[in-house]
Amino acid sequence: MENLLKLIEYGQSYWMDDLTRGMIQRGELQRRVSEQGLRGITSNPAIFHKAITKSSDYDEQIQRLVGEKGGVHEIYETLVIKDVQDACDILRPVYEQSAGLDGFVSLEVSPYLAHDTKGTIQEAHRLHQAVARPNCFIKIPGTDAGIPAIEQCLYDGININITLLFSIRYYEAVAQAYIRALERRVEENKPIRQLASVASFFLSRIDTLTDQLLGHRIIPDASGAGRQPQQMLGKAAVASAKIAYASFKRIFSGERWQKLADLGGRVQRPLWASTSTKDPLYPNLKYVEPLIGPHTVNTMPESTIAAFADHGVIAANSIEDGIAEAAGHLEDLEKAGVDLDFVTRQLTNEGVQKFIEPYDLLMKTLASRRELLLADATGQQIISPGAAKTEFAAALESLDAKQFGRRLYAHDALLWE
């Protein structure tokens, strides 16, 4: 575990990209914090779907909530808020010892709000109040609608983890939103010392899509001027992260930032996310070893944490090695016909969908469990939507995709047009 413990000496905190009730109840999370240097936790709908559906740790609470006549969404939020609160309590000493730099646990707003500024602000406030822990981050995606919500929530004093960042341009936009929020607070004589934020830059998915597009362009044994597509494989993500870090250093320096720093403002740290290697031909620490540097966070799944503890190589400020080469690589991608703006927009859309799907599956699972428990309590047979005939399955899926249930619950008049 020496590698994990040494990271903080090089200015980087490592967080874990996982959270389950089992790891809380069996003391695993406490051991990681007290013995292995863990300094934070991130969660998302996919993580909670796996945690709740793959174990019996939540059954007792689900049964009690159904008995109290809780609805499906109420049950979901009660389950995840309980886990986040307990994890926050375990990490609270890290939060205190680091003066509010680390020790955070992240809880994400509904993925259905990714393009809804007003709804995001309302839900962020509601979740922040429900968790009621100073070391809770509310996660908001860095979409066009998310950026004004991020600024407003930060201005309102809510600590924010910006998620689903793939683009350097959008990274810079959320960094500027953070600074504007601090400046607005200063103008109104509101404190900024305890306000914290991280900007989560997703990595492995960038290589997955750019490699696919480069593969379309590979011509074996081709000759010609410039770098060939096969020479660019697997380099887009780390190159993007290095350029984003250069933007971070530029934005959080100079006279404008210094005024805020003098009042206790802390930088919004870049957080490297999606750091498990998706391609089996790439090293398993591809998104860890080259991205170590001051004022950064790397959030890793358990397998990547184990690999780094076993054979990780730590080099001081590796994040700034090869900056010129990184910029050149991104230029080469454009010359090869890979439109990075398209890539990052596509990845953002896919990222939202990748959170919607497990969120919906979890809602369906909780609905089925609720129905079974109600049936047991009343002795009545309840037929769930899942029991519908096969010929209706496609229609039900289409209704789900069009958010029929959410719109009906919200009395959306457009359903009847």
- Catalytic residue positions? 139
What number of other Cβ atoms are within 10 A of residue 393's Cβ? 12
Q: Are 99 and 122 in contact (CB under 8 A)?
A: no
Q: Which residue has the tokens 């005939």?
A: 389
Read out DSSP for 225-252? SS--GGGSTT-HHHHHHHHHHHHHHHHT
Distance CA 318, CA 9 (A): 13
Residue 140 β-bridge partners: 162
* 275 vs 140: CA distance, rounded Å: 19
d(CA 64, CA 380): 19
3-state secondary structure 40-98: EECCCHHHHHHHHHCCCCCHHHHHHHHHCCCCHHHHHHHHHHHHHHHHHHHHHHHHHHC
Quick one: residue 187, left, alpha or beta (phi over 0 = left, psi -120 to 50 = alpha)? alpha
DSSP-derived secondary structure for 162-223: EEEE--HHHHHHHHHHHHHHHHHHHHTT---TT--EEEEEE-HHHHHHHHHHHHTT--TT--
Dihedrals phi, psi of 77, to nearest 5 degrees: -65, -40
Contact assessment for residue 242 and residue 269, using Cβ atoms and an 8 Å cutoff: no
